[in-house]
Amino acid sequence: MKLKKYIAFYLITGLFFTVSYKLYFNIYNIILNPDYDARLIKSHGYCDREGYGFVKKMYDKYNFSKNIKIINFESNLYPDVSGFFYKKNLTYSDDKLILLNLSDKKYLLDFKDYKITENYKSCYLLEKND
């Protein structure tokens, strides 16, 4: 009799965690999109929201030897994406900067010491002028 109570308890607890953590939906999502970066871009945005896709493309294209400072102009709405790319054994670069969600280009005037290296919609990779 006690064994049945334990089995019922574990079944109900397991069902609760399965539903609350959306286990079946997450498995379906992984099967549907097996590419890790594609799932991250889908959930964190390319050049919107956190801008994961743009930052990932810049890190892949330029293979930075230092960490790059990332400024998201919608930081009050979205968390910082730099945690995906931060390497603890590297320092921050003084000559490169990534700007995300810069919808008003008048802010670029504040960065007059920089030139635009890459641009996609409202995302920019800036490099300090020599």
Distance, in Å, from the CA atom of 53 to the CA atom of 40, rounded to the nearest integer, reads: 8
H helices of 21-114, in order, are 23-32, 36-44, 52-62
Query: What does the pLDDT read at residue 1?
Result: 66
Could you tell me what percent of the chain has a pLDDT over 70? 99
Is residue 15 predicted with pLDDT exceeding 90?
yes
Distance, in Å, from the CA atom of 110 to the CA atom of 105, rounded to the nearest integer, reads: 10
The string of pLDDT tens digits covering residues 51-81 is 999 999 999 999 999 999 999 988 788 888 9
- What is the pLDDT averaged over residues 99-115? 83
Query: What does the pLDDT read at residue 130?
Result: 75
Q: Name the pairing type of β-strands 67-72 and 92-100.
A: parallel
Query: What does the pLDDT read at residue 78?
Result: 83
Distance, in Å, from the CA atom of 85 to the CA atom of 59, rounded to the nearest integer, reads: 8
Cα-Cα-Cα-Cα dihedral of 14, 19, 21, 24, to 10°?
100
User: Does the predicted model carry a pTM greater than 0.75?
Assistant: yes
**H-helix or E-strand spanning residue 94:** strand 92-100
Domain spans, the chain: 2-32, 46-128
Query: What does the pLDDT read at residue 13?
Result: 94
